[in-house]
């Protein structure tokens, strides 16, 4: 288990580290970073399972991390005294918000959730972040019709007919998208609310027609599960 703590107060960082070590009984790799920039640089290069994040880092806004990393597959736990920002944090996909001051029981509860979370429970995330000309654009999930694989990248197809290029592949996006986004083919993830009907043609060919008329392929190996879970609702 790889853990990153982004906290600028050394005393609190060491306390979080000690409690986290106790929770995992010493079987975790923990890194502590004390600045926003170094934290973002670390996450760009390294893979972590859990991020423990303060929102006020030497006067800089920790929401910059959340906005930049909404589409990453790790779970984020905010540890902050800024409780007025809790709702905003949850909308950006945070798993839990631990208010300061905190005790080990409260942090342990958050860590327990982080290691048992499932795709179906990950319903708080509302956005995917897309890098554009050095800035971050947040795309609301409800505006996504489907996502198409494009090599190591992904094309996000929006309900208004426009497209955005995401810098992560379908496998990564599949792990972090909430229930309602279904992988129907090796190259496609669909937002089920945009689906209209399943089309079956000769030769056991399966397709999904969207409400806008577009037709996407359904992989043979995925058809049965997809049909059982969603067929009745969308036909």
Please report the DSSP string for 189-206 in residue order: EEEGGGEEEEEEETTTEE
Between the CA atoms of 29, 34, 37 and 41, what dihedral angle is there, to the nearest 10 degrees?
-10
pLDDT, residue 28, reads 83
Whole-number pLDDT of residue 71: 54
- Return d(Cα 5, Cα 79) in angstroms, integer: 10
**Higher-pLDDT residue of 189, 49:** 189
pLDDT(210) > 60: yes
In terms of Cβ atoms closer than 10 Å to its own Cβ (0-12, 13-18, 19+), residue 178 is: middle
pLDDT band for position 231 (cuts 50, 70, 90): low
Residue 180 has pLDDT above 80, yes or no: yes
Q: Report the distance separating Cα 46 and Cα 29, nearest Å.
A: 12
Instruction: Tell me what percent of the residues of the chain surpass a pLDDT of 90.
Output: 41
**What rounded mean pLDDT belongs to the chain?**
85
Token look-up 């399966």 returns: 206
pLDDT at 234: 46
CATH classification code of 2-117:
3.40.50.2300
The reported pTM is 0.53
Beta bridge partners of 201: 205
> CA-CA distance, 50 to 212, in Å (whole number)?
38
Which pLDDT belongs to residue 230? 67
State yes or no: pLDDT of 141 exceeds 70: yes
Look at the domain 128-234 and name its fold: OB fold (Dihydrolipoamide Acetyltransferase, E2P) (2.40.50)
Q: Phi and psi (nearest 5°) for 91?
A: -65, -20
Q: Is pLDDT above 90 for 97?
A: yes
In whole angstroms, give the CA distance from residue 32 to residue 67: 20
- Work out the average pLDDT over 67-81: 77
The predicted structure's pLDDT at residue 169? 87
The two tokens of residue 81 are 């005294």
* Residue spans in the chain of domains classed CATH 3.40.50.2300: 2-117
Tokens found for residue 25: 């009984």
**More confident call, 36 vs 58:** 36
* Residue range(s) occupied by CATH 2.40.50.1020 in the chain: 128-234
Q: Is the pLDDT of residue 193 over 60?
A: yes
**Euclidean distance between the first and final Cα of the chain, in Å?**
42
């Amino acid at each position: 288990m790889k853990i990153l703590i982004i906290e600028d107060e050394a005393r609190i960082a060491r306390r979080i580290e000690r409690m986290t070590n106790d929770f995992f009984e010493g079987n975790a790799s923990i890194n502590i970073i004390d600045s926003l920039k170094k934290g973002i640089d670390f996450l760009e290069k390294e893979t972590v399972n859990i991020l423990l994040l303060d929102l006020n880092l030497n006067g800089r806004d920790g929401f910059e991390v959340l906005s930049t990393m909404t589409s990453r597959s790790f779970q984020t736990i905010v540890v902050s005294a800024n409780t007025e920002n809790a709702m905003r944090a949850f909308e950006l996909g945070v798993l839990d918000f631990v208010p300061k001051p905190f005790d080990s029981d409260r942090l342990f509860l958050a860590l327990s959730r982080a290691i048992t979370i499932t795709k179906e429970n990950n319903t708080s995330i509302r956005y995917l972040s897309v890098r554009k000309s050095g800035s971050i654009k947040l795309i609301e999930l409800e505006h996504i019709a489907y996502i198409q694989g494009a090599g190591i990248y992904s094309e996000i197809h929006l309900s208004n007919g426009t497209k955005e290029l995401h810098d992560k592949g379908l496998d990564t996006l599949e792990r972090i998208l909430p229930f309602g986004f279904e992988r129907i083919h090796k190259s496609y993830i669909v937002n089920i609310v945009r689906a209209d009907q399943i089309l079956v043609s000769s030769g056991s060919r399966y397709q999904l027609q969207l409400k806008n008329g577009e037709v996407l392929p359904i992989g043979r190996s995925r058809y049965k599960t997809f049909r059982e879970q969603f067929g009745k609702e969308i036909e």
